[in-house]
Structure 1
Amino acid sequence: MIKDRRELIKLLAGGGLGLLCINPILAKHLGIDSPSAISNPEIKKQFPFIKYLKKYNIGELIPKDQGGKLVHMELLKTEVDEEIVAKINKGLIEEEYGVNIGWDVYEDTQVEKSVWLNRFYFLPSFARMFYLTGDSSYLKTMMKYISKWIKDNPLTPDAQTKNYNWRDMQAAWRVIHWTWCLYLTENKINKQEKDLIENSLKDHGQVLLTWFGKQKLNEFNHQAHGGLAMLYLGVFFPHFKQAGELKETGITILTHHLNKAFYKDGGNVEQMFGYYPFETHIFRDMYLFSMNNEFNAPENLKPKLKQMGAFIKTVAQPDNTMPPINDSYEMPVGSSIAVLEDILSSPLKGSATAFLPETQLAVLRSEKPNEKWYVTANPAKTIGAHAHAGRLGFTLWYNGTPIVIDSGVCNYDDPKLVTWYRTSEAHNTVLIDGKTDIETSTDVLWTSKRTTGNHIRDLEETELFKACYMTSPRFEEVNSRVQWNRNVALVDDKYFILHDCFESEDEHDFELLLHFPEVHINENEKTLSGQGKDESFKIIVPNRDLYEKVEVRSGLISKKAENVVAPMASYKFKGDGVVHSILVIAPNYIDLQMEYSSKKTGAGVKFTDAGKDIFLLVKNPGTKDVAAFGKRSEKEFNVLR
């Protein structure tokens, strides 16, 4: 079992051989002996991001990895460049890291906070502000931090083993960020400053080749990012001695990740939805560089980019952010889509309702005027590492308002990551006999990743309803030998049904958990109601006798990298044999009347709204059919008029 992130990174760095050597013919073609990349107007033209600088902030053009994003938002609370530079100029770095800047002061206590500083996420904001305004004070501050880092962190033989500053993503992010800084300040930066940065970047190139270049090819996002950094050096600094090797090694790494780090349905194999804009920009940049710098990109790069864009549009929440499932920040996607569409010269199309079988995620949408629903269903196919223990989880939005949400994730340095966010209790799931997943409920930060039996069986879409069917099998230890099927459905675009069916040979305790945003929840005879930002809703049960206790207590959610106390609902009940739990979530304006019928072969609910009836029939496992209210069905879950 891996105890922390450092050990994980060390393991990924081991093994393998150097990938490729420099091609001397290619080197001559690229002009490696030319005096300076950024002094060469032809190379200058090849920096492909200039056209986007007026419209987008750096954080919108270069989406962050989640560890960096979480710390960035904790410290700066903004991605607006003008606000970032103002806070840095007021001394934020010195307040956090000391007047003399302790580059490794937090390594042993808050490693994410430590590497955030050494990756320089904030620095290109100064370069962009200089580019837009011509104010040389931005350039002066930029150079102050670069110069100090270079002076304080020489590349010595033991540099990589002494601390994290010369390892892994730290070196990769600095390459990318410093390259942006050089190109955006080229008209003002002097030769001495150029040489200072370029000489350090040469050292960075050697570090990247020995760190990422000698790794076995894998599907970990750090390696893909390292490949991009090598491509930056190979493309924009062709006069570097190792430019050809850096470029070709970067292409090899990125080609592997393009082919192996994504499922056929477009999802990433790390099951990280918040990482998706970050990973997409890696291949977006590769595509741009291939267009402007005369190297052959993989044939499937453009189709894959279109698929990535379509995946984002399909999965994105109504507020245009990625769902914070697993270790995911609620990453904004508007700029990622807009820039990608511009580069590809074509609109990207998502799907309103989709089942992604390899990713094991489903999205249900209703887009009727004034009845806009959004549902995700995530069975927790993978648990451990970055993946949480919220098996058969779901989220629900109505008319742009979040109703039932995932708790999300906090800064990886925060102990609450393992004491709360990755546990079963932090998700919209069911605890059976009070059990939570063992591997994500200890003080171990980075547990081994395992594939579970949790899965989506099917998605069904009819004129009357859209439904996703999920299963968590009895052999999952946390299920206490109980077979659990969960069905989530949008009915007539008016209300949402959550149906859980439990099958066991003996009696068990069940606790169904729902998490809410910062809303006030009212309790009234096992019926809950809440007021969201723009919409009010109610949670009602057709079979009140099932639930022994319904209560609202405090949980935690992550909101823009802050831990926020928010309400969570708990429905407790017991049962043996086959047990059906049915909850209905509806907007408050609907006067929904319900009648419940329990049968030996299953159960039925009659819904009456504005004088019209709709029937839900749920069948017991192993029976032929179920009948109630004059309706009959052979399906496990069916909605009829």
Structure 2
Amino acid sequence: MNRDLLGKLRRMRGAELKARSQALLTQLCEQVGYQLGIQRNPENDLTPDAADSTFRDPWIAQHEQQAVAERLRAHHPAYVDEIVQAADAICRHEFALFGTVARYGDAVAWQTDPVSGRPWPAEFHTRVCIFDGNSGNGDVKYVWELNRHQFLPVLGKAYRLTGDVKYASAGLRLIDSWIGANPCNIGINWTSALEVAVRSLSWCWACALFEGAPALTAERRRRILGSLSQHARYIERHLSFYFSPYNHLIGEATALFVIGSLLPSLRRAAHWRKRGWAILEAEMPKQYHEDGGTVEQATGYHHFTLGFHLHAMLVKRHLEGDAAGRLWTDLEKAIAFSMHMMRPDGSMPMIGDADEGKAFALAQSDLWDFRVFLGLGAALFRRGDFKKMGGGHLLPDAAWLVGADGWAAHDALQERVPEKTSTALPASGYYIMRTGWDAQAHYLGFDCGELAAGVSAQETPSAAHGHADTLSIEVSAFGEPLLVDPGFWTYNGSMDWHRYFRETEAHNTVVIDGRSQAEFRGRLKWSHAPR
């Protein structure tokens, strides 16, 4: 038996062994069903009145969409122009993916790598290899990014802002095309529960924005609902409890909760709502340190996970009026962590791995500028320091989440600078010193945290998004970054560069005898983590 596998088995407790065994059994049953040609009719998952149901807005009442659109047209005409331009590009089947633009003709090739042009195999999902980097079809991140469908809400916003039905029609045709080209459980777009989750969240929001459009016919409504039921069933069968119990699991639980909350015309909606929320409630304390920082020790993933929690909590607040309790306290701490870590220029130190992932696609001025979260936090928690450090105004894209009333509440807040300039975050291991909170301040950040939760100090390898960067520093002078964390290279590109950016040598810290602080064990994997 493989030595690493044997080491992992020895470390596993009964609950993990049971869960992993059940996951393997689930895959086996799915595969047997596929080979026998057994397919579940998604129509059977719908209630009789599904064709007459409504896609509810996740964040605000349906009628508030128009109030938000009117205020955006009045106060942010440049934003409206940007949304319309982006929507027009999507109508032309042009999609921005990681700094490149993928252009398609009349039909989008959903299972083809947007960069290499090579199709991924249309095989049962367990037979599609996604763990060997670039396996010959291209970097899986590109085809997954396209199929997250986070461009669909842009079309919905354009429809609401202009009243032009062409945007809703284009979005619904894209969903039709995707459903037809991606049978459940077949191909690259059914290989990851997180990817299925992000796509389902995109559909829920977009279809709520498409409500009222003539193109959203009863037949289309039933077809989309049937596919969303397939999405939720897949997610529940493949929850990442031990495979990836951090941002993956939170994204999947969020999708179950949102689908179950917004779509009561699905027969299992109440079950998914309850299951998703139970996971979120049980797992939230495991996702953040006491001071609000992610246990993954990666600032990009901090905001990815935070985005999913915001997503779920805003839905719960909208539908149930619930905005109190331990989870809201933890959410506020996570937003405060983001504020304390922020550099004078408004950007976030690029600590740990990152893949540009977003729980929902909100416009940011820069990839590493997460101040949109501070604006949302100001509106939710009525905090003047969040408003001040978020730029003093609510970014236009965030208005769709808090509505006209939340926007007005944000504007009414009195701005104030945070109480402390120097901040100790001992649980997550970061210590920040600054001369002030202005854009020309000096800034010094110490990274004294662990490599990442779950990484063993022994020889058994574990996947993690943290880097071997203990005691590294970040320095800004007069607001300009001088010594920076290098961030991340790629998941599936050159192994040499992938390794270099994660090991100690690439960071502003001490290297002893030319050795990294932890042992690199392959893509994303570490062993012998420092203690």
TM-score (norm 1): 0.56
Q: Sort the Cα spacing of 1:208 and 1:47 in 2 relative to 1 into closer, same or farther, 3 A.
A: farther
The Cα of 1:321 is off from its aligned counterpart by 2.6
Indicate yes or no: 2:289 matched with 1:210.
Answer: no
1:420 matched residue in structure 2: 500
Residue 263 of structure 1 and its aligned partner are, at CA, apart by: 0.9
| The 10-residue stretch of structure 1 (127-136 or 423-432) with the greater mean CA deviation from structure 2 | 423-432
Paired with 1:308 and 1:44, the residues of 2 have a C-alpha distance of 20
Say yes or no: does 1:171 pair with 2:196: yes
Question: Quick check: which has more Rg, 1 or 2?
Answer: 1
Match of residue 307 from structure 2: 281
Conserved? CA contact 2:201–2:258, under 8 Å: yes
One-letter amino acid of the structure 1 residue matched with residue 290 of structure 2: K
448, 452, 477: which one pairs with 2:526?
448
Q: Match for 2:149 among 120, 125, 128? A: 120
Q: How many angstroms apart in 2 are the aligned matches of 1:205 and 1:166?
A: 14
Deviation at 1:122, TM superposition (A): 1.9
1:333 partnered with 2:402: no
In 2, are the aligned partners of 1:224 and 1:254 still within 8 Å (CA)?
Answer: yes
> SS in structure 1 opposite 2:199?
helix
Q: Is the 8 A contact 1:97 1:103 kept in 2?
A: no
Asked if 1:135 is matched to 2:150, the reply is no
Q: Distance in 1 between matches of 2:227 and 2:58?
A: 20
Quick check: 1:115–1:165 contact (8 Å CA) kept in 2?
Answer: no
Question: Residue 14 of structure 1 is aligned with which of 15, 20, 36?
Answer: 20
| In structure 2, distance between residues paired with 1:327 and 1:128 | 31
In structure 1, C-alpha distance between the alignment counterparts of 2:465 and 2:59, rounded to whole Å: 39
Aligned with residue 345 of structure 2, among 309, 312, 319: 319
1:134-213 alignment to 2 at 5 Å? 134-155=163-184, 159=186, 163-165=188-190, 167-188=192-213, 189-212=216-239
**Take 1:359 and 1:41, find their aligned partners in 2: how far apart are those partners?**
38
Aligned to 1:403, the other structure's residue is in SS state strand
What SS is found at the alignment partner of 1:402?
strand
Distance 2:70 2:18 in 1: 39
| Greater relative contact order (CA < 8 Å, ≥ 6 in sequence) | 2
The answer to whether the 8 Å contact 1:306/1:348 transfers is no
Q: After TM superposition, give the deviation of residue 245 of structure 1 in Å.
A: 0.8
Shift in CA distance, 299/404, structure 1 to aligned 2, threshold 3 Å: same
CA drift of 1:413 comes to: 2.6
1:39 aligned onto 2:118 = no
Q: Flag the 1:270–1:194 CA change in 2: closer, same or farther, 3 A.
A: same
Distance in 2 between the 1:423 and 1:279 partners? 24
Q: Distance in 2 between matches of 1:42 and 1:278?
A: 21
Q: Does 1:92 align with 2:94?
A: yes
Contact 2:486 2:506 in 1 (8 A): yes
**Higher mean C-alpha displacement, 120-129 vs 34-43:** 34-43
8 Å CA contact 1:228–1:286 kept in 2: the answer is yes
One-letter code of the match for 1:144?
R
Deviation at 1:178, TM superposition (A): 0.3
Equivalents in 1 of 2:379, 2:18: separation in Å? 35
Contact 2:436–2:442 under 8 Å retained in 1: yes
Gap change, CA 1:308 and 1:177, over 3 Å in 2: same
What SS class does the counterpart of residue 424 from structure 2 fall into? strand
Query: 1:239-263: per-residue Cα shift (whole Å, max 9, x none)?
Result: 2100011000110111122121111
Q: Aligned in 2, Cα 1:118/1:15: closer, same or farther, shift over 3 Å? A: farther
Q: Does 1:254 align with 2:277?
A: no
- Residue 136 of structure 1, CA deviation: 2.2
Partners of 1:209 and 1:273 in 2: how far apart? 28
Structure 2 residue corresponding to 1:241, chosen from 267, 273, 276: 267
Q: Displacement, 1:370? A: 8.9
Cα gap change, 1:312 to 1:49, in 2 (>3 Å): farther
Q: Secondary structure at the match of 1:280?
A: helix
Percent identical residues: 22
Question: Does structure 2 conserve the Cα–Cα contact (< 8 Å) formed by 1:172 and 1:226?
Answer: yes
Cα displacement (A) at 1:222: 0.6
Structure 2: runs of 5 or more not aligned: 6-15, 26-45, 74-80, 96-100, 113-118, 121-129, 357-366, 387-417, 453-462
Distance 1:215 1:275, change over 3 A: closer
Query: Where do 1:381-392 residues align within 5 Å?
Result: 381-382=450-451, 385-392=464-471
CA deviations 1:231-286 (Å, max 9, x no partner) are 11111101210001100011011112212111111111111212223222322233
Indicate if the aligned counterparts of 1:124 and 1:180 stay in contact, CA closer than 8 A: yes
Distance in 2 between residues matched to 1:368 and 1:215, nearest whole Å: 40
Instruction: Give SS of 1:448's match.
Output: strand
Cα displacement (A) at 1:179:
0.5
Amino acid across the alignment from 1:354:
T
CA distance in 1, matches of 2:436, 2:247: 34
1:174 alignment partner, SS class: helix
User: How far 1:44 moved relative to its partner?
Assistant: 9.6
Which residue in 2 is equivalent to 1:357? 426
**Partners of 2:58 and 2:314 within 8 A in 1:** no
SS in 2 for 1:275: helix
1-side partners of 2:140 and 2:64: how far apart? Answer: 31
Structural mapping, 1:595-606, within 5 Å: none
Q: Kindly tell me: are residues 375 and 40 of structure 1, through their superposed partners in 2, closer, same or farther at Cα, counting changes over 3 Å? A: closer
Partners of 2:256 and 2:275 within 8 A in 1:
yes
SS in structure 1 of the partner of residue 524 of structure 2: coil
User: 1:146/1:11 Cα in 2 relative to 1: closer, same or farther (>3 Å)?
Assistant: farther
Kept after mapping to 1: 8 A contact 2:352/2:488: yes
- Are 2:232 and 2:256, in contact at CA under 8 Å, matched by a contact in 1? yes
Distance 2:69 2:300 in 1: 24
1:427-462 alpha-carbon deviations (Å, 9 max, x no partner): 11233333335633x6x2121365413xxxxxxxxx
Distance (Å, rounded) in 1 between the aligned partners of 2:276 and 2:439:
48
Higher-helix-fraction structure: 2
**CA displacement at 1:39 relative to structure 2:** 3.0
Cα displacement (A) at 1:116: 0.9
Give the structure with the higher percent strand. Answer: 1
Query: Structure 1 pair 48/232, CA: closer, same or farther in 2 (3 Å)?
Result: farther
Pick aligned residue for 2:436 from 356, 367, 376: 367
Q: By how many angstroms is 1:293 displaced? A: 2.1
SS in 1 for 2:468: coil
Look up the equivalent residue of 1:401 and give its one-letter code. E
C-alpha distance in 1 between matches for 2:445 and 2:243: 32
Q: Which segments of 5 or more consecutive residues in structure 1 lack a partner in the other structure?
A: 3-9, 19-30, 58-78, 454-641
Aligned partner of residue 377 in structure 1, secondary structure: strand
Is contact 2:55–2:263 with CA below 8 Å preserved after alignment?
no
Tell me the SS of whatever aligns to 1:114. helix
The answer on whether the counterparts of 1:38 and 1:183 sit within 8 Å (CA) in structure 2 is no
Q: Deviations over 1:529-587 (max 9, x none)?
A: xxxxxxxxxxxxxxxxxxxxxxxxxxxxxxxxxxxxxxxxxxxxxxxxxxxxxxxxxxx
Task: Work out the number of aligned pairs and report it.
Answer: 406
How has the CA–CA distance of structure 1 residues 371 and 286 changed in structure 2, closer, same or farther, with 3 Å as cutoff?
Answer: closer
- Kindly report which structure 2 residues correspond to 1:477-496, keeping only aligned pairs within 5 A, or say none: none
Aligned-pair CA distance for 1:297:
7.4
